[in-house]
């Protein structure tokens, strides 16, 4: 009962199962244990399953960020990076979290890492409303400016004039 009152439904359910198995002849006890076991099972079924794959954790981190749960979003994003440091979305999310916390230098660092992995993130960052406080910073402008085209059709080198 103590485990159930503390919302630890898994261990509580195991205890109730143990009572049912240990005292098959105690009808009143069995009836109550079954009711409590059902309650534990219902509560466990209602709880969201913890995200396991990288994609699930990134989706959960994005949702947490959108809901203002910055600590949860950060924890999920850091967990993803611990498993795969080249996850640009996790780095991008950390950049947004840091901006919201006012840690602009840290935000720029994460954003720079995200763009280094996925240059497409630069276009998204240019339009990200959360990066508004960074817009006038030279470092942000450097990170998000379009790279100069190279190769055929790219900009020509200026000709030197011969005098």
- One domain, residues 62 and 140: yes
Q: Specify whether 64 is located in the same domain as 138.
A: yes
Whether residue 19 is found in the same domain as residue 86: no
Q: How many residues does the chain have?
A: 163
Write the pLDDT tens digit of every residue in 23-80.
989 899 999 999 999 998 888 888 666 788 999 999 999 999 998 999 999 999 999 9
Q: Which residues contact 51 (CB under 8 A, 6 or more apart)?
A: 57, 59, 60, 76
User: For residue 156, what pLDDT is reported?
Assistant: 43
Task: For residue 36, give both structure tokens.
Answer: 């409590």
Check residue 50 and give its pLDDT.
Answer: 78
Q: Identify the residue whose tokens are 């999920």.
A: 76
- On whether both 31 and 110 belong to a single domain, the answer is no
Read off the tokens for 31: 């009836």
Confidence bin at 86 (pLDDT 50/70/90): very high
Are 58 and 130 within one domain? yes
CA dihedral 122, 127, 133, 134 (to 10 degrees): 20
* Residue 159 confidence (pLDDT): 40
CA proximity to 119, closest of 145, 97, 141: 145
Domain total of the chain: 2
pLDDT at 136: 95
Full residue range of the structural domain in which residue 105 is found: 54-144
Say which CATH number the domain at 103 has.
1.25.40.10
What pLDDT score was predicted for residue 148? 61
In a 13 Å sphere around the CA of 9, the CA atoms on its Cβ side amount to 13
Give 110-128 pLDDT, tens digit per residue: 999 999 999 999 999 999 9
């Amino acid at each position: 009962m103590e485990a159930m009152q503390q919302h630890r439904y898994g261990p509580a359910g195991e205890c109730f199962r143990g009572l049912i198995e240990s005292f098959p002849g105690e009808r009143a006890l069995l009836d109550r244990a079954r009711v409590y076991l059902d309650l534990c099972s219902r509560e466990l079924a209602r709880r969201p399953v913890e995200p396991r794959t990288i994609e699930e954790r990134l989706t959960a981190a994005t949702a947490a960020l959108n809901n203002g749960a910055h600590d949860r979003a950060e924890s999920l994003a850091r967990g993803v990076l611990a498993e795969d440091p080249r996850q640009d979305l996790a780095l991008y999310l950390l950049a947004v979290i840091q901006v919201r916390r006012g840690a602009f230098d840290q935000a720029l660092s994460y954003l720079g890492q995200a763009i280094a992995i996925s240059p497409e993130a630069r276009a998204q960052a240019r339009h990200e409303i959360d990066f508004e406080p960074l817009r006038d910073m030279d470092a942000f402008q450097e990170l998000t400016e379009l790279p100069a085209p190279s190769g055929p059709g790219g900009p020509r080198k200026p000709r030197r004039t011969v005098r």
